[in-house]
Amino acid sequence: MQTVNSLKEMQVLVQKIRAQDKRIALVPTMGFLHTGHLSLMHEGKRRGDVLVTSIFVNPTQFGAGEDFEEYPRDMERDQKMAHEAGVDVIFAPPAAEMYPSGYQTYVTVERVTQGLCGISRPDHFKGVTTVVCKLFNIVTPHVAIFGEKDFQQLVAIRQMVADLNLAVEVVGMPIYREEDGLAMSSRNKYLTPPERKAALAIIHALRRASELFGDGERRAGEIITEAKTIIEAEPLAQIDYVKICDTKTLHDTKQIKAEAVLAVAVNIGKTRLIDNCVLDPLTMRVS
Ligand code: AMP
C-alpha cells in the first residue's frame, strides 16, 4: 500500500493504472476509520482491481461553528486499518492543494439537498458534491462506494453523476452498526459515556418505526410521532428532524406507497448524529 499526498502524483499514478486496463475503485472518507468504512473498502476490493481510498477532512463541507478543527484525525491508525482492508493507495491531499488561494468553483445539486440536513447545514452538500467531483476528476474511478448512512449525500452524489454525465458507477452500502445498534460514525468518539447511552434512543426509535411499518402502518405521521416520542424521552437528545421521505426525490411522504426512508438527525450534547432506515412497502423490507 502506498500513501499519495500530491494531486499531480495521484494523476500520474491513475493514468498508469488505466493504461493497464485495470478497474479503479474509490472509497472517499474523512478518515478516522471504523468498521463501517472498512465494509465499503471490502466492497471496493471486490469491484475493482486497484482500490483507492481518499482520506481528506474537507473544509468546504463544514459550516461556521461546526467541528472542522476538532474532527478526529489519526493517519497512522488509518494507514494500518486501510492496509489490512486491502487498500492499494491512500490519497490524502493537503487542503491547500485541493483549494488553493483563488479557488472559486463549486458543484451544487439543487433540489435533493434542500431538505433534511440541508436545512440546518445549508452549505454542507455543496462542499460534499464539490469535493467528490474533484476526487472523481483526480482519481478517475470506474466505481465509487458510499454508505447509506449518509443517505441524502448518496442521493445527491447519484444526482450529480447523472446530471454531469460522470462515468462513475456509484454503489451504496448498508449502514454498519455497533452491536447495540448505534450506527458507526467517526463522530461517536465525541460522546461521553452517558451520551453514548443516550444515543441509543435513535436506534430504539428506528426499531419502533420499523415495527409499526412491519405491522402495516403506512401513515408517515403516525410513525414519525412514535419515533419522536422515543427520542424526546431521552433528556440528552435534541431532535433536529425526524422525517419520512421518498428515497428518490427526498420529498416528504404522507402515505408510504413507494420506497421511503425514515431519516433522523439528533444532537446528543454537542454531537450531531444521523441515522436512517429504508421502508419498502412492496417487499415489506426494512433496512
Ligand atoms: P465519512 O468518513 O464519515 O465522511 O464517511 C465516508 C464514507 O463512509 C461515506 O460514504 C459514509 O456514508 C460511509 N459510512 C460512514 N459511516 C458508515 C457506516 N456506519 N456504515 C456504512 N458506511 C458508513
Going residue by residue through the chain (287 aa), what tens digit of pLDDT does each one get?
999 999 999 999 999 999 999 999 999 999 999 999 999 999 999 999 999 999 999 999 999 999 999 999 999 999 999 999 999 999 999 999 999 999 999 999 999 999 999 999 999 999 999 999 999 999 999 999 999 999 999 999 999 999 999 999 999 999 999 999 999 999 999 999 999 999 999 999 999 999 999 999 999 999 999 999 999 999 999 999 999 999 999 999 999 999 999 999 999 999 999 999 999 998 876 77
What is the radius of gyration, based on Cα positions, of the chain?
Answer: 19
Residue carrying C-alpha cell 491531499: 93
Pocket probe for ligand 1: among 27, 30, 35, 37, the residue whose CB has the most ligand atoms within 8 Å is 37
Residue carrying C-alpha cell 461553528: 65
Residue of 37, 83, 124, 251 marked catalytic: 37
Cα 133 from Cα 210, distance rounded (Å): 35
Q: What are phi and psi of 39, to 5 degrees?
A: -65, -35
Cα 113 from Cα 53, distance rounded (Å): 25
Does the beta carbon of 183 lie inside 6 Å of ligand 1? Answer: yes
Q: Whose CA is nearest to atom 18 of ligand 1?
A: 36
Residue 153 C-alpha to ligand 1 middle, in angstroms? 10
Please choose, from the candidates 26, 33, 77, 38, the residue with its C-alpha nearest in 3D space to the C-alpha of residue 57.
Answer: 33
- For CA atoms 150, 25, 28, 191, the dihedral sign is positive
Cα 214 from Cα 210, distance rounded (Å): 6
Residue 184 C-alpha to ligand 1 middle, in angstroms? 8
Does the beta carbon of 151 lie inside 6 Å of ligand 1? Answer: no
- The answer to whether the predicted template modeling score (pTM) of the entire model surpasses 0.75 is yes
Residue 6 C-alpha to ligand 1 middle, in angstroms? 24
Q: Whose CA is nearest to atom 7 of ligand 1?
A: 29
37 counts as catalytic: yes
